[in-house]
Amino acid sequence: MRSRWLPRSIAFLVGLGMAVGVLATYVMLPAPTSDLSAPRPVTTFPVTSTSFADPRTVALRPSFSAQAQLSLGRSGVITESSCTPGVPFGSGTTVARVDSNPVIALATSVPFYRDLVPGTEGADVNALRAALRALGYTIDAEGAYRGAVIDSLADLQKRNGVNPADGAFRLADFVWIPASGGAPSECEVSVGEQYSQGSPFAVVPGSLRSLQLVPSTSAPVPGPRAARVAGVDVDLPESGVISDPEAVARVASSPEFAEALDSETIAASTELKDARQAVAVPPAAIFGIQDAAACVQDDNGEAHVVSLLSSSLGRTLVTFPEGVDVPRAVRLSDAIDVTTCTP
């Protein structure tokens, strides 16, 4: 009987000893400090400086001039034509032959409407001068139809096989095309057809005149801006209208622009030409918001007026007034003990 109870007694004593040891360990361990049991709330946050160019994706609405209908100044059989829809006419090149007589295209801002004789003056003469200058001839931008203009025109006639190549401007030898160039959308006559002077020869669609920024709900940060339109870098005026002829011409000649014409607007990107130095703070540091202005309170308790630039990815970009030292840190949420700020 005594041997049967001995193992049970030993097991009981071992278990009791372990329990006493655990209890003693628990009693002897120090209680957790307050720092471990309740972490201190974050009341300030260090500010960081960053460069800000206000990048945006915007929409531009293109504006076009009216389409132009081209006509030739002589009648006869069309024996040659370079008119191909979608292929631009080249200024200074032969676009057609009527009864084997070459007709030269000239791109000008003013359509031709008369023959010119030495001494003739007017907008059409100056437009002719501009067209010849664009082809590389060295002549004055303005003046009467004489001297170097006649010599330049004679050279152009000779290059294209006009006979006589005497430098006389005859409507029968030239066809006006818009100064912006452009590819014909329609060719009205074909080789071998009888053509009547003044009847339609080709139709050139309207050319790009300007690009208008479509207003958005978010106003951009003021300042000179650059834009990238159809892969072309241009300046974006404060008015929101891109109308500089050189800039418009570069955009219009871009393959990306041609692909975007199916839509009423064209996507573009824009940003400040000179990036600003901004300060990044947590949204919890911002209070007293009024339009694009707000307040922050630095870690010393002083409140500052700031200008709001943007907010994303858990941070708000602001600028401090010129001449104000940027604080090292700002207070957050419940640590802010003021409600307003003054400049």
Q: How high is the pLDDT of residue 14?
A: 41
Strand-pairing partners, residue 202, are 70, 187
The single-letter DSSP state of residue 279 is E
pLDDT of residue 65: 86
Contact (CB, 8 A) for 106 and 134: no
Contact 137, 130 (CB under 8 A): no
pLDDT at 218 (0 to 100): 82
Q: What residue type is 99 in one-letter code? A: D
pTM here is: 0.60
- Rounded Cα distance between 137 and 167, Å, is 14
| 275 within 8 A of 53, measured Cβ to Cβ | yes
pLDDT of residue 211: 97
Give the pLDDT of the chain (343 residues) as one tens digit per residue: 444 434 444 443 344 344 444 434 444 445 555 555 556 788 999 999 999 999 999 999 999 888 899 999 999 999 999 999 989 899 999 999 999 999 999 999 889 999 999 999 999 999 999 999 999 999 999 999 999 999 999 999 999 999 999 999 999 999 999 876 678 999 999 999 999 999 999 999 888 899 999 998 888 888 999 999 999 999 999 999 999 989 998 998 888 998 888 789 999 999 999 999 999 999 999 999 999 899 999 999 999 999 999 988 889 999 999 899 999 999 999 999 999 998 8
Give the pLDDT of residue 93: 96
Residue 74 near residue 196 (C-beta atoms within 8 A): no
Report the pLDDT value the prediction gives residue 30, as an integer from 0 to 100: 54
Contact criterion met (CB below 8 Å) for 173 and 92: no
What's the CA gap between 1 and 278, in Å, rounded?
91
The alpha carbon dihedral of 82, 86, 87, 88 has a sign of: positive
In this prediction, residue 317 carries a pLDDT of 95
What does DSSP say about strands 174-178 and 101-108: parallel, antiparallel, or unpaired?
parallel
200-204, strands of its sheet edge to edge? 68-71, 200-204, 186-187
In whole angstroms, what separates CA 10 from the centre of its chain?
Answer: 89
pLDDT of residue 62: 95
pLDDT of amino acid 122: 95
